[in-house]
């Protein structure tokens, strides 16, 4: 059984709902979750907030945080996750922000730098990842890590 099927089964069993906010993955995580038959029973919404303006408008990410920390940061990922959870009225809000490349990287935040945040009733956790490869490989790796984070939470391994 693939990750998204396991997640779907657990969300249904636990009667939980989810929404996602994606930047560098462009909707890949939402696509993977909704590829499972019956996803309408737990998947509420997906936002592809590629621009800073979209992050501010749809997810209520403060402009000041983006200016101070950059769109690819722990703080913005945290704000995106809380924002999507609130905007969609769900149990679980997942957010992704990162640099898929090939351009856009800096010495401090090279291509492949990704932050994934999970907002749940217990709080918000954020993880930083450094993926290697081309744009599609980084996006795929990010989607796998995001789905794994959701599964960890649903199976009680997120602490």
> What value does the mean pLDDT of the chain take?
97
Residue 19 lies in a domain: yes
Question: Under a CB-based contact definition with an 8 Å cutoff, are residues 76 and 61 in contact?
Answer: yes
Question: Total domain count for the chain?
Answer: 1
Tallying the residues shown for the chain, one arrives at 159
Residue 147 lies in a domain: yes
Indicate the pTM of the whole model: 0.97
Residue 16 lies in a domain: yes
At residue 124, the 3 state secondary structure works out as strand
CATH number for 22? 3.90.950.20
Residue 159 lies in a domain: no
Dist. CA 101–CA 72, nearest whole Å = 13
pLDDT digits (tens, 9 = 90+) for 71-101: 999 999 999 999 999 999 999 999 999 999 9
User: Which residues touch 53 (CB under 8 Å, ≥6 apart)?
Assistant: none
pLDDT digits (tens, 9 = 90+) for 10-45: 999 999 999 999 999 999 999 999 999 999 999 999
Domain containing residue 31: 3-154
Mean pLDDT, residues 125-142 taken together: 98
């Amino acid at each position: 059984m693939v990750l998204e099927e396991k997640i779907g089964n657990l969300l249904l069993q636990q009667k939980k709902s989810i929404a996602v906010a994606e930047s560098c993955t462009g909707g890949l995580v939402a696509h993977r979750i909704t590829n499972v038959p019956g996803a309408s029973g737990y998947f509420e919404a997906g936002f592809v907030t590629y621009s800073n303006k979209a992050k501010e408008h749809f997810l209520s990410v403060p402009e000041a945080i983006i200016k101070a920390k950059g769109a690819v940061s722990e703080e913005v990922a945290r704000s995106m996750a809380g924002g999507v959870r609130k905007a969609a009225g769900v149990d679980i809000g997942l957010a992704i922000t990162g640099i898929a490349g090939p351009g856009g990287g800096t010495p401090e935040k090279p291509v492949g730098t990704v932050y994934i945040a999970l907002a749940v009733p217990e709080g918000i956790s954020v993880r930083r990842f450094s993926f290697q490869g081309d744009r599609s490989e980084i996006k795929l790796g990010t989607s796998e890590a995001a789905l794994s984070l959701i599964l960890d939470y649903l199976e009680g391994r997120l602490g």
